[in-house]
Amino acid sequence: MHYLVTGGAGYIGSHMVKLLFKQGHQVTIVDDLSSGHRDAVLGGELIVHDFSDRAFLDQLITEKNFDGVFHFASKILVGESVSNPAKYYRANSFATLTLLEAMRDHGLNHLVFSSTAAVYGEPQSTPIDEAHPKVPVNPYGASKLMVEMMMSDFQRAHGLNYVALRYFNAAGTDAEGLLGERHEPETHLIPLALKAVLGQKPPLKLFGQDYDTPDGTCIRDYIHVEDLCSAHLLAMQYLHGGGQPTAFNLGNGAGYSVQQVIDVAARVTGKPVPFELAGRREGDPARLVADASRAKSVLQWVPVHSDLETIIRHAWQWELKMVAQAQEKNI
Ligand code: UDP
């Protein structure tokens, strides 16, 4: 198969490209490198371009005759989406509308879309299944939900086949240690904890210790990036096999608290994680845990790397590799 991967130089997209390539597929990556990294693309053809340029898309789709699209390219900072909503509606919703129109006009019908648990908003029940009300509490979640609504309408009107994958907390890096998380700015718990161990970042700020959870810190569902990618591949195969357009949660169904992450990070690195107590971060629910049983039963998806220890071990391997590379450059 020949697949188009938007955002394939980013964190999750680059892991997807690696998987597709390993499986023998042809891959064309479109990434404007606004947050991705050229050296994260381990296979396929990278085209550095804005995926939402309609004339470019028309030419690309005509030329390459893709069998499907994995659409990762998006802005992902929740806080920034609150202060600059236009950026999110433009980059995540409006730009994707252009992609959908181009796909429609060229008869390119199979789309696996990176959605998010943020479409659900404040959890009304836990674990969260796909039927949970969708009431996003920030423009990031709203911008992704809008795409889900557009895809559903395109399905009705034009026969688009799509799967929306609602990620919980993507984490970890590939087991071989070739790829990793390189966000700028970094806001995610696990890389910040590990960088604090290395002294590259200040002590981790632990956001809130007074939540209604066993140890008082927030609980999240961390899912290994390679497990996320295997679900994408299964979702595309599901579409090619005639599966109905739908959405799946991707999480491992086991929540871990911030304190547990700190404890496991200390065990894996062999060093204490420097941290200080901070107030609650705005918009953080106490507990976000997926009911991912639909993805498991319909797609036969089996997450294999998503225990916290493995996730942190892989992430630590990547951080150490980055340190070694920086040292080599300085020699
Ligand atoms: N968190 C924290 N300190 C940080 C970053 C995150 O205590 O510097 C907490 C955050 O409050 C949440 C969990 O770690 O409960 C995961 O946050 P992250 O930003 O990694 O992912 P999110 O759940 O926001 O998608």
CATH number, domain with residue 275: 3.90.25.10
Candidate from 120, 206, 217, 258 with most ligand 1 atoms within 8 A of CB, to mutate: 258
216 and 157 within one domain: no
Averaged pLDDT for residues 276-292 = 93
Q: Is residue 298 part of a domain?
A: no
Q: Report the alpha-carbon distance of residue 17 to residue 3 in Å, rounded.
A: 9
Answer whether residue 244 shows pLDDT above 80.
yes
Q: Report the alpha-carbon distance of residue 295 to residue 291 in Å, rounded.
A: 9
Task: Give the pair of three-digit tokens for residue 195.
Answer: 């960088």
Averaged pLDDT for residues 69-97 = 96
213 and 105 within one domain: no
154 and 130 within one domain: yes
Q: Report the alpha-carbon distance of residue 21 to residue 28 in Å, rounded.
A: 10
Q: Report the alpha-carbon distance of residue 57 to residue 35 in Å, rounded.
A: 20
- Atom 19 of ligand 1: nearest residue by CA position: 188
In this predicted structure, what is the pLDDT of residue 282? 84
Selected catalytic residue, list 120, 140, 211, 256 = 140
279 and 164 within one domain: no
Q: Is residue 178 part of a domain?
A: no
Distance (angstroms) between ligand 1 centre and the Cα of 227 equals: 20
Measured from the Cα of 258, ligand 1's closest atom is 14
231 and 206 within one domain: no
Answer whether residue 234 shows pLDDT above 80.
yes
Q: Is residue 23 part of a domain?
A: yes
Averaged pLDDT for residues 288-314 = 97
In which domain, by residue range, is 318 found? 189-220+253-290+305-330
In this predicted structure, what is the pLDDT of residue 235? 98
159 and 24 within one domain: yes
Residue 218 Cβ < 6 Å to ligand 1:
yes
- Catalytic site includes residue 238: no
Answer whether residue 317 shows pLDDT above 90.
yes
240 and 110 within one domain: yes
Task: Give the pair of three-digit tokens for residue 29.
Answer: 């990556």
Q: Is residue 184 part of a domain?
A: no
In this predicted structure, what is the pLDDT of residue 183? 87
Residue 150 Cβ < 6 Å to ligand 1:
no
pLDDT, tens only, 121-130:
999 999 999 9
Q: Report the alpha-carbon distance of residue 299 to residue 158 in Å, rounded.
A: 24
Q: Report the alpha-carbon distance of residue 99 to residue 53 in Å, rounded.
A: 9
Q: Is residue 235 part of a domain?
A: yes
211 and 196 within one domain: yes
Residue 107 φ/ψ, nearest 5 degrees:
65, 25
In this predicted structure, what is the pLDDT of residue 230? 98
pLDDT, tens only, 23-54:
999 999 999 999 999 999 999 999 999 999 99
In this predicted structure, what is the pLDDT of residue 144? 98
Average pLDDT, the chain: 96
Averaged pLDDT for residues 168-194 = 94
Smallest CA-to-CA distance from 171 within 32, 6, 318, 34 is with: 318
Answer whether residue 301 shows pLDDT above 90.
yes
Q: What is the CATH number of the domain that holds 143?
A: 3.40.50.720
Q: Is residue 121 part of a domain?
A: yes
Number of domains in the chain: 2
162 and 31 within one domain: yes
Q: Is residue 132 part of a domain?
A: yes
Answer whether residue 329 shows pLDDT above 90.
no
326 and 271 within one domain: yes
Distance (angstroms) between ligand 1 centre and the Cα of 188 equals: 6
Residue 133 φ/ψ, nearest 5 degrees:
-55, 145
**What percent of the chain lies above the pLDDT cut of 90?**
94
Q: Report the alpha-carbon distance of residue 174 to residue 172 in Å, rounded.
A: 7
Answer whether residue 296 shows pLDDT above 80.
yes
163 and 47 within one domain: yes
Q: Is residue 316 part of a domain?
A: yes
214 and 128 within one domain: no
pTM exceeds 0.85, yes or no: yes
